[in-house]
Every structure is written in C-alpha cells, then in structure tokens.
C-alpha cells in the first residue's frame, strides 16, 4: 500500500531513510518538470528548476507543516524557483525597452516583461505556419508561451496539473479572485491564439 505524502515525510524525518525521500521525489519529478518547462520555456532550465526544487525540499523538509497539502507546498517552491530563473534571464537580457510592447497585456508585474521578451526572442511560427504543424502539443505550447507569466502559470496549474483555485492561490501567493481573473483572461487569449488552428482541424469535439 502506498503511503501518503505526509506519511513519507514523517518517516523520513524519523528514520532519515533515503528511500522515503526518493519515493517522494519520484512522485513529483515529472509533474514538476511539466510545469517548469511550460513556465520557463526550455528543457535545460526546467531540469535546473526541478533539481533546485528538490534540493530546497531536502533542505527545508522539516519546515513543512500539514496545514496545506504537500503538493501545493512543493509546487510553491517550484513556482518561486521558476520566477527566480525568469528574473535571472530577464536581467541577462538587461534592458527595459520591451516593457512598452503594445501586445503586453494586463497587470504590469515585473515578470510580464519576461513574456514579452520571450515573445520577441522566440521564433514561434505565425498563425499561417501553425496550420502546418502536426503536433497539437507543440501548437498549444507555442501559444502558452505568448501568455503573460502569471496567466500562463495559472492555466498550467489548473488545466494541465488539475489544481483547484484554492491550491493555486496558495502556490502563487495570490487571492482566489486574482487566480480566477488570471485564468479567465489567460483562456481568452489562448482561445484567440488557437482559434485558427481549431477552425481548420477538428481537434476535439466541442460538445460534451
């Protein structure tokens, strides 16, 4: 019988058995990687995010309190690590000209610039070219990259990872109303971006 996350943590705290920690990591490594690669945008940095997240988990596992779910806790660590990575990338780009990008949407938190920069630097195909793309995942991933970071994170956490609004609120440190708003506007923008592709391909049945 599989132990719960909290039981594994309790066992590891008591026995320091590496197997308990490894089991915990095995449960989340792929989920963390899927979230990280869609937030930071490339595989190499996503691997660094997963690695750094697990190191922080190991260093701070005694600080975990069962007030929130372990999943929300570890994804909060991962989210903060992603933001650090994006800010580092932004500093390396090192200029503010892109802040005034007319396509930048919504609240002007610093991380929005990251989206705009990635948008400018990313050779994402235009809508006509996307019609030629055969992989649905690639089209959606390319569209996700065009969202502001805060909207992209909420969409990924909810629609791909299945977290509730409450859990996302805990992960990203925003209230539920903000989470709801970001998810709404993120989906609106995604629908706009994917509409040409949806129109030409019958990806999924539109009716329930």
Q: Which residues would be at the binding site for other proteins (CB under 8 A)?
A: 18, 21-22, 25, 29-30, 33-34, 37, 47-48, 50-52, 54-55, 58, 88, 91-92, 136-137, 140-141, 155, 158-160, 162, 164-165, 180-181, 183-184, 187, 190-191, 194, 198, 203-208
CB-CB contact of 151 with 186 (8 Å): yes
Closest listed residue to residue 182, CA positions, set 192, 170, 191, 174? 174
Q: Which is nearer to other proteins, 101 or 133 (CB)?
A: 133
- CB nearer to other proteins: pick between 34 and 80: 34
88 and 180 Cβ atoms separated by less than 8 Å: no
Q: Are 53 and 75 in contact (CB under 8 A)?
A: no
CA angle 5, 69, 159 (to 5 degrees): 105
Quote the longest CA-to-CA distance of the chain: 58
Question: Taking the complex as a whole, how short is the minimal distance between the CB of residue 141 and other proteins, in angstroms?
Answer: 8
CB of 208 to other proteins, least distance (A): 6
Q: How far is the CB of 109 from other proteins (least distance, A)?
A: 21
Find the shortest distance in angstroms from Cβ 74 to other proteins: 13
């Amino acid at each position: 019988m599989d132990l719960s996350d909290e039981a594994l943590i309790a066992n590891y705290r008591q026995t320091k058995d590496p197997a308990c920690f490894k089991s915990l990591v095995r449960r989340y490594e792929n989920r963390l990687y899927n979230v990280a690669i869609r937030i930071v945008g490339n595989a190499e940095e996503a691997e660094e995010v997963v690695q750094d997240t697990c190191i922080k988990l190991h260093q701070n596992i005694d600080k975990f309190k069962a007030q929130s779910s372990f999943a929300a806790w570890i994804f909060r660590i991962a989210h903060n690590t992603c933001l650090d990575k994006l800010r580092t990338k932004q500093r390396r780009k090192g200029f503010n000209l892109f802040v005034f990008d007319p396509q930048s949407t919504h609240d002007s938190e610093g991380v929005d610039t990251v989206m705009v920069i990635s948008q400018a630097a990313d050779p994402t195909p235009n809508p006509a070219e996307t019609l030629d793309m055969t992989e649905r995942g690639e089209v959606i991933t390319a569209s996700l990259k065009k969202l502001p970071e805060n909207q992209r994170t909420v969409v990924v956490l909810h629609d791909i990872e299945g977290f509730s609004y409450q859990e996302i609120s805990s992960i990203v440190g925003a209230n539920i109303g903000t989470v709801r708003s970001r998810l709404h506007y993120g989906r609106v923008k995604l629908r706009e971006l994917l509409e040409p592709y949806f129109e030409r391909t019958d990806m999924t049945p539109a009716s329930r």
